[in-house]
Amino acid sequence: MTQITAARDGTVTPEMKIVAEKEGKTPEEIREGVASGRIAIPANVNHASLSPEGVGGGLRTKVNVNLGISGDLHDEEDEFAKVAVALELGAEGIMDLSNHGKTREFRRALIGMSSAMVGTVPMYDAIGYLEKALVDITVEDFLEVIRVHAQDGVDFATIHAGMNRRVIDSFKETGRLANIVSRGGSLIFAWMEATGNENPFYEHFDEVLAICREYDVTISIGDAMRPGSTYDASDAAQIAELIEIGKLARRAWDAGVQVMVEGPGHMALDEIAANMKLEKRLCHDAPFYVLGPLVTDIAPGYDHITAAIGGAVAAASGADFLCYVTPAEHLRLPDVNDVREGLVATKIAAHAADIAKGIPRARDIDNKMSDARRRIDWEEMFSHAIDPVKARRYFESAPPSTDGTCTMCGKMCAMRTVNTIMDGLTIDLDAR
């Protein structure tokens, strides 16, 4: 029994109860959301260390961290340091995007230690796992890799099933400035062009779903045609694929498999809200998982900011799950500091959106921070900060000469002044 089949049978699972407690909802509200497909609880039956999270309408916006071993930088110790930062800062999801060599040992270790849900893109692993040239990989090979990931305990798997021949024809006919920027999508496109076959994940979608159902893997239907340039956003190829994804989402639910839908990408600020509504409409309110969107293409080194801006608008407009972007985006594999900066920026975007959406209890922590600032309680302020380590480091790097203040205002601290007056005392503003 999967989460969605249990929900449809009227059963509240232990995972639903945990999500309800985290979200301030009743278990029945969560069950109803899962039953309808509006909420997904990615929870592979083999992921024993998981602390379940809900992704979907009416819930807190969740944040994902990407990491993994690459061909040029394949230091597992570095990647586990990134995992530690992700867990420390409260990322709800970690995607292992390893694409070099035999990655199964790393993936199993990650799943064994991670309380966050773990996702993968089996297509990335296919060439290294199978030790075959791309054009020699068969449909059975692709399915075998998905099964291995499912057996290992992966909670959600990105499967680029929506890019079928109809979508490819649309892409070729209309053209693009940046072509296909999805790594998985580009590999499938290359395989299709070389073999003349249909997308194997589209053509054999029922077999993919059978594997997912067996282990309760949530299928995250990948957007192979996501725009990698603001110029390409909302174009024919993107929308054509989204229409196909909407059809596949219904098939997955009918098969007892939970669904998330992946989205852009790069997108101008004024297009984001409409795209979020379009996804919800075409994909029947399935949870929406977006990368950014990055709202400009000219900020390498600062793309965590361009993505956080877009992510805040996206989540406030209906996106449910934000994939972080680091300062290293478009430049190199991120290091541990990049992971911290990217994750914090995305968590800010998610939290800001939750306040805007009126998510229950979202504003509580902000109110606590404001109260601590009024009382000038530095320790309490640090405890409420998204990144308490950085907040403390900044404060302690420039000790104030006046207790209870910081070096920005010193004796002229507004909080200190008003607190003193409200206590019936005289404030000392001697300029010396």
Q: Which residues, 6+ apart, have CB-to-CB distance to 274 below 8 Å?
A: 234
CA distances from 227 to 66, 175, 182, 183, 234 (A): 19, 12, 9, 12, 8
The reply, when asked if residue 147 is annotated as ligand binding, is: no
Q: How confident is the model at residue 431 (pLDDT cuts 50, 70, 90)?
A: low
What value does the mean pLDDT take over residues 395-412? 91
The DSSP secondary-structure symbol of 131 reads: T
The confidence score (pLDDT) of residue 402 equals 86
CA separation (Å) from 386 to 77, 122, 288, 351, 365? 25, 32, 24, 10, 10
Tokens of 257: 């498999």
Q: Is 262 annotated as a binding residue?
A: yes
- Residues for the chain: how many in total? 432
Mean pLDDT of 363-375: 97
pLDDT at 332 over 80: yes
Q: Is 46 annotated as a binding residue?
A: no
Q: Would the pLDDT of 430 be above 70?
A: no
Does 150 count as an annotated binding residue? no
Whole-number pLDDT of residue 311: 98
Residue 160 among known ligand-binding residues? yes
pLDDT digit string (tens) for 292-319? 999 999 999 999 999 999 999 999 999 9
Instruction: Determine if residue 215 is labeled as part of a ligand binding site.
Output: no
Rounded to the nearest integer, the mean pLDDT of the chain is 96
pLDDT in tens, 25-72: 999 999 999 999 999 999 999 999 999 999 999 999 999 999 998 878
pLDDT grade, residue 99 (50/70/90)?
A: confident
CA distance 41 to 52: 7
78 annotated to bind ligand: no
Query: Which parts of 22-181 are beta strand (E)?
Result: 39-40, 55-56, 62-67, 93-96, 117-120, 156-159
Residue ranges per structural domain of the chain: 3-357, 363-397, 402-432
**Average of per-residue pLDDT across 360-386:** 97
pLDDT for residue 129 is more than 80: yes
pLDDT at 71: 78
- Global pTM reads 0.96
Q: Is 182 assigned a ligand-binding role in the annotation?
A: yes
φ/ψ region of 352 (left if φ > 0, alpha if ψ in -120 to 50, else beta) reads alpha
Domain 3-357 in CATH 3.20.20.540? The answer is: yes
413 assigned binding-site residue: yes
Q: Phi, psi (5° rounding) for residue 356?
A: -65, -35
Q: Is 409 annotated as a binding residue?
A: yes
> Is 74 within any annotated ligand binding site?
no
**Confidence (pLDDT) at 102:** 76
Residue with tokens 């990049």: 338
pLDDT at res. 75:
85
293 closest CA partner among 337, 243, 234? 234
Mean pLDDT of the region 77-102: 94
Is 16 annotated to bind ligand? no
Q: Determine if residue 323 is labeled as part of a ligand binding site.
A: no
- Tell whether residue 44 is among the known ligand binding residues: no
Residue 406, marked binder: yes
pLDDT band, very low/low/confident/very high, at 95 (cuts 50, 70, 90): very high
Determine the residue type at 399: P
Rg (CA), the chain: 23
Q: Kindly state the tokens that stand for 317.
A: 């407009």
10 Å Cβ neighbour count for 404? 15
Confidence band (pLDDT; 50, 70, 90) for 380?
A: very high
Please choose, from the candidates 160, 163, 256, 263, the residue with its C-alpha nearest in 3D space to the C-alpha of residue 217.
256
pLDDT at 21: 97
Residue in 20, 40, 39 with CA at minimum distance from that of residue 28: 20
317 is in an annotated binding site: no
The pLDDT-based confidence of 144 (bands split at 50, 70, 90) is: very high
The least confident of 327-331, 354-358, 416-420 is: 416-420
Q: Is 196 annotated in some ligand binding site?
A: no
